[in-house]
Structure 1
């Protein structure tokens, strides 16, 4: 096992898409893939977010961001862009 996160992602993808359907053409696979990707990235609970989905976690994150003054947010963003 090289990377547990990638292995887990591959298992979920294989079980949810590749093993669950028969495809007549690549366009069916692309359509299902896009639907699954949206669901996985927005509604799937993530351990790193306290077993919440990103949609559930986002309001908390936005509240924390709003506590930082806007000028400080801009300074942090600009300092991350600077190359040393």
Structure 2
């Protein structure tokens, strides 16, 4: 396996998952754990603003792209 300092993005994600989800909940069943982790993952991936896309949420950015005419060179 790689070293933690070789993939800062993954390590950051793992830390956030642990701090914001795993350490905050008691999971009495596997189904409950899966449900809470999926809820957190969706919020993390779809609802949080991201610097890489101009501070927009991924959902807003996807809508922006859907409303943008994209010109493909050579067509």
Q: Which has the higher helix share?
A: 1
Count residues in correspondence. 69
Give unpaired runs (5+ residues) of structure 1: 73-84
Match of 1:60 in 2: 64
Match of 1:41 in 2: 45
Measured on the aligned residues, the alpha-carbon RMSD in Å equals 1.7
TM-score by length of 2: 0.76
Aligned-partner SS, 1:20: coil
Aligned-partner SS, 2:11: helix
Deviation at 1:18?
Answer: 0.8
Match of 1:18 in 2: 22
Deviation at 1:43?
Answer: 0.2
Larger RCO (CA under 8 A, 6+ residues apart): 2
Deviation at 1:30?
Answer: 0.2
Mark the structure with the bigger radius of gyration. 1
Give unpaired runs (5+ residues) of structure 2: none
Runs of 4+ deviating beyond 6 Å: none
For residues 44-67 of structure 1, the C-alpha deviation after alignment (integer angstroms, 9 at most, x for no partner) is 111211121111212221233x34
